[in-house]
Structure 1
Amino acid sequence: MERLRHDDPPRIGPHTTLARFDAEPEQAVPARRFIVRSADGDRTLLAFLPRTDVDPTRWAVEAEGARRLSIPGFLPVGEVGGTAELPWCTAPYVPALPLPAALRAHGLPLPEPVVRALGAALARTLATAHAQGVTHAGLSPAAVLLTTEGPRMGCFGAVRAAAPDGERRSGLPGLDSGSLAPEQAAGGRPRPLGDVYALGAVLAYAATGHTVPERDELPSSLRELISACLSRDPERRPRAHQVLTHLEPAARTPVHEATVLDGAAPIPLPAPVVAALARQSAQVLAAELPAPGSLD
């Protein structure tokens, strides 16, 4: 959470802007992210605006697509509004840290048991989505929001919003090149195995603190799995439900491709990350207090 800057919008739709969500502008997400208060003062929300170098029309289409979804573990989009030139959307707010901020709070990297639990939660979410015929097409470290209720996937459809199928997407604004499957970078249609590639990139980052780590830097117990997820050949990658089975072999229910699962569950978070979430919560509460004299 960061104070607003002079060029930040004081309002987003009917909502009052309280603060930036990201301490530093994230180059690898397609949206500017803010914490806002509803017009009635009763709700705190996350609000999203397209980056100035992102096509607002394509961005709005993906925001509306996210609004229509109900997949546990996806960041739920509640409102979509604005104009064709300046669309916006919101999601319910809970204290949350993007994965890069969580690693900075912890001091890089996350402990291996946390990485495994995070991977299982994200794989469960992707398996659920894929069983419903939905490809996330936007997973990256900055798109993963850690909360005490479990991780949430934002940036739905970022790959589709960046450019239409058939156009190269390498180096386009709003995309994390390290999380972009080679076939999608070349302009291929986003498919579930592209999500698995992105999952491998997220886990590699969480386990090492590096966006493109060497294979030997990965924890030995996760090395083969992450390397398989990051295979350049999509058919050599495991499916999301297979990743879940590897990370959580004692799953409560048998996992197979047609299973619709329960979505992300709480994962153990290191104490510094929990403390950072508590600080953010306190800052938001303080920001929502009436200004001195406003109740006179």
Structure 2
Amino acid sequence: MGQYVALARLDAARPPRVPPERRYLARTADGARTVLVSLPARGADPARWAAEARWANQLSQPGFWPVAELGGTAAFPWHASPYQPVLPLTEALTAHGGPLPEGAVRAIGAALAETLASAHVLGVTHAGVCPAAVWLTAYGPLLAGFGTVRAAAPDGTRRAGRPGVDQESLAPEHLAGGPVDPRGDVYALGAVLAYAATGHAVPERSEIPAGLRALVSACLSRVPDGRPEPAHILAELAPGAAYGTLAAATEPVPLPGRVVAALAAQSAHVLAAELPAHPAEVR
């Protein structure tokens, strides 16, 4: 990975949901800077992945994980961003020991809905929302994995089973190869809320907390036009919240104590980590 030496994988070896990319905590060889580095999923098309990384590098969208640096070769592209303590939503549920409390799900969902609302107004479709692409920080969630669905396969090609694609978060029309559009982001947000609230990839409707059930069901409508707009989702999840304050991630979100502890433990581990004498092969 160029000047960077991998310290550890960000995701567990066998996460419960498909991560959109291979993601590593890494450091410069002189030890001066720590970063998060992402590479294409194994078997993914590196050219399509790199094209989405270039788009992400040009975005300054609040609530999106920033892509600060591009590198590598045509066959082995990567991108990097300055490190901050972060847990994929999948790892946060593992740290918590199960689904998150409804209050935390609402806060996370509201911030994500505001992020998507502001992106869609600008004509930007994230096309990669899924539980493993939601990165939790102490100040709220950020969306990584920009463009995963577009990178997986061109329009007109089925995307089922493609590397890096979380099939349970993919809208039916996109799974079948239909054009990617903002309504698919809403479907994926519904899948994220369902997962965060139940811990299951495909929960029964009765498992979803009653206060979230109708909204999640609407997001997961198989009819694209039946899904709510992100602004409506925001209003349902955080009534009275001032628009433009959540995605900016300037105030802490109510994360469970064990998730906060896991973020702190990661930060301490990274601070104490020494560069390996014999760097392991990136896999």
Counterpart in the other structure of 2:280 = none
Structure 1 residues without counterparts, runs of 5 or longer: 1-11, 254-259, 292-296
CA contact (8 A) 1:48 1:88 kept: yes
Q: Please give the secondary structure, in 2, of the residue aligned with 1:151.
A: strand
With structure 1 as the length reference, what TM-score do the two structures score?
0.89
Q: Deviations over 1:25-48 (max 9, x none)?
A: 456223111011134533211001
Q: Deviations over 1:234-282 (max 9, x none)?
A: 10000111111111120224xxxxxx77624331110000111111111
Counterpart in the other structure of 2:138 = 148
Q: Deviations over 1:46-67 (max 9, x none)?
A: 0011122101010100111110
Pairing 1:126–2:116 present: yes
Q: Please give the secondary structure, in 1, of the residue aligned with 2:70.
A: strand
- Code of the aligned partner of 2:103: P
Counterpart in the other structure of 1:263 = 247
Cα distance change of structure 1 residues 21 and 70 upon mapping to structure 2, 3 Å threshold: same
Counterpart in the other structure of 2:180 = 190
Pairing 1:64–2:54 present: yes
Cα distance change of structure 1 residues 181 and 251 upon mapping to structure 2, 3 Å threshold: same
Q: Please give the secondary structure, in 1, of the residue aligned with 2:140.
A: coil
Match of 1:47 among 14, 30, 37: 37
Moved over 6 A (4+): none
Q: Using the alignment, how far apart are the partners of 1:124 and 1:40 within structure 2?
A: 39
Pairing 1:282–2:238 present: no
Counterpart in the other structure of 1:7 = none
- Code of the aligned partner of 1:280: Q
Counterpart in the other structure of 2:6 = 17
Q: Please give the secondary structure, in 2, of the residue aligned with 1:251.
A: coil
State the identity as a percent.
62
Cα distance change of structure 1 residues 211 and 32 upon mapping to structure 2, 3 Å threshold: same
Pairing 1:212–2:198 present: no
What is the count of residue pairs matched by the alignment? 274
Q: Using the alignment, how far apart are the partners of 2:29 and 2:36 within structure 1?
A: 14
Q: Using the alignment, how far apart are the partners of 1:290 and 1:165 within structure 2?
A: 43
Q: Deviations over 1:176-225 (max 9, x none)?
A: 11100001001111111100000000000000000100111111011000
Counterpart in the other structure of 1:221 = 211
Shift of 1:135: 0.2
Q: Using the alignment, how far apart are the partners of 1:25 and 1:126 within structure 2?
A: 29
Structure 2 residues without counterparts, runs of 5 or longer: 278-283
Q: Using the alignment, how far apart are the partners of 1:261 and 1:148 within structure 2?
A: 15
With structure 2 as the length reference, what TM-score do the two structures score?
0.93
CA contact (8 A) 1:122 1:264 kept: no
Shift of 1:81: 1.1
Q: Using the alignment, how far apart are the partners of 1:94 and 1:201 within structure 2?
A: 26
